[in-house]
Amino acid sequence: MQEANSQGPTERPPLTAKILNEGVVLLLDKPLTWTSFDVVRKVKNTLRPPKIGHAGTLDPLATGLLILCTGKKTKEIDQIQAQEKEYEGTFRLGQTTPSFDLETAVDLEQACDHLTEADIQAAVATFLGKIEQIPPVFSAVKVDGKRAYELARTGQEAEIKAKTVEIKAFELTRIALPEIDFRVVCSKGTYIRSLARDLGVALGCGAHLTRLVRTRIGQYKLEDAWTIAALEAQRPPRPAGEAERPPRERRERIRPARAGLDFYASQHAAPPAASGPDLPLHPEGTPSA
């Protein structure tokens, strides 16, 4: 819990009922496969704040910074949501999926081993600045009053309009074909999965997102976030006279909200590991623009 970086994570005050009631901006490190709602529910059940909301969702197959606000701080949710975002992750070149990530199976494979670092850097550079981006069909964007992913999973056509987003920074931190690691700083509403699709199109080989970590939202940083385990340690004592529920009812069970995560779980026992031959980067370890 931190509104700036004036104090380190170990100096955070305890999340008492008084602090939560007055209002706090709570930074959480979202685990893989948890939905944003799962995290909100966990905080509700653990800390019992009277009022809570999240400042922007994060896909179940992404990890990293998720911001929750309690009490009077819920009035700042729109302001926090509007701030720029920073991500790190991995694109897999040479393969596409309908969801543009690991939620769905690979539907097309193309060669990518002919690409050079110069080819990839040139394509990356074309996405800097304001661009028109079409959100994924497997997303929460509304089409005729329904969520796009609801239509996609039933095989219905969904025409999603492009919108203007801004890519403020797009850097490659590792090239190990068929994988590339990246850092992106972008405006609100940017879909990194769509960026993977569009980069794959620009390179002529297809691509999809295999790993995504949100590291920053405005001034708020992942390094200052609470882990779920640390949050659990803040659970207040049970009020006197309140009966203890049976273990089965009390135990938290975080269930994936999206059907596609069943496919992910069947294919991946652990987050995907990097592999492939390395291409040289610049001496600093990060390519120049």
Same domain, 96 and 181: yes
Confidence category of residue 35, pLDDT binned at 50, 70, 90: confident
3-class DSSP assignment, residue 214? strand
Active site (annotated) includes residue 198: no
Domain assignment present for 132: yes
**Least confident interval from 79-93, 115-129, 239-253:** 239-253
For residue 274, pLDDT beyond 80: no
Range of the domain at 37: 9-82+220-232
Same domain, 107 and 65: no
Same domain, 189 and 103: yes
Last residue of a domain, one of 200, 232, 264: 232
Domain assignment present for 259: no
Same domain, 157 and 50: no
In contact, 138 and 98? CB cutoff 8 Å: yes
Confidence category of residue 7, pLDDT binned at 50, 70, 90: very low
For residue 265, pLDDT beyond 60: yes
For residue 1, pLDDT beyond 60: no
Give me the pLDDT at residue 266, please. Answer: 60
For residue 226, pLDDT beyond 90: yes
Same domain, 137 and 169: yes
Same domain, 190 and 225: no
Give me the pLDDT at residue 205, please. Answer: 98
Q: Of 50, 45, 47, nearest to 245 (Cα)?
A: 45
Question: What mean pLDDT comes out for the span 152-171?
Answer: 78
Same domain, 124 and 70: no
Tokens encoding 286: 């990060």
Question: What mean pLDDT comes out for the span 120-134?
Answer: 96
Give me the pLDDT at residue 277, please. Answer: 41
Domain assignment present for 121: yes
CATH number for position 52: 3.30.2350.10
Q: Of 68, 86, 87, nearest to 77 (Cα)?
A: 68
For residue 90, pLDDT beyond 60: yes
Confidence category of residue 144, pLDDT binned at 50, 70, 90: low
The count of domains in the chain is 2
Same domain, 101 and 50: no
**Least confident interval from 57-66, 87-96, 114-123, 169-178:** 57-66
For residue 113, pLDDT beyond 80: yes
Question: What mean pLDDT comes out for the span 22-42?
Answer: 92
Q: Which residues, including other chains, have CB under 8 Å from residue 70's CB and lie 6 or more apart?
A: 20, 21, 23, 24, 26, 49, 50, 51, 52
Same domain, 128 and 209: yes
Burial class (CB in 10 A: 0-12, 13-18, 19+), 264: buried
For residue 185, pLDDT beyond 90: yes
Same domain, 92 and 19: no
pLDDT tens for 13-27 read: 688 888 888 899 999
pTM: 0.80
Q: List the beta strands (DSSP E) in the chain.
A: 25-30, 52-54, 63-70, 85-93, 95-96, 108-109, 129-133, 142-143, 146-147, 163-176, 179-186, 207-217, 220-221
Q: Tokens 């948890």 identify what position?
A: 34
Which one of the listed residues 59, 101, 198, 224 is annotated catalytic?
Answer: 59
Domain assignment present for 113: yes
Q: Of 22, 13, 6, 56, nearest to 36 (Cα)?
A: 56
Angle formed at CA 217 by CA 213 and CA 222, multiple of 5 degrees: 50
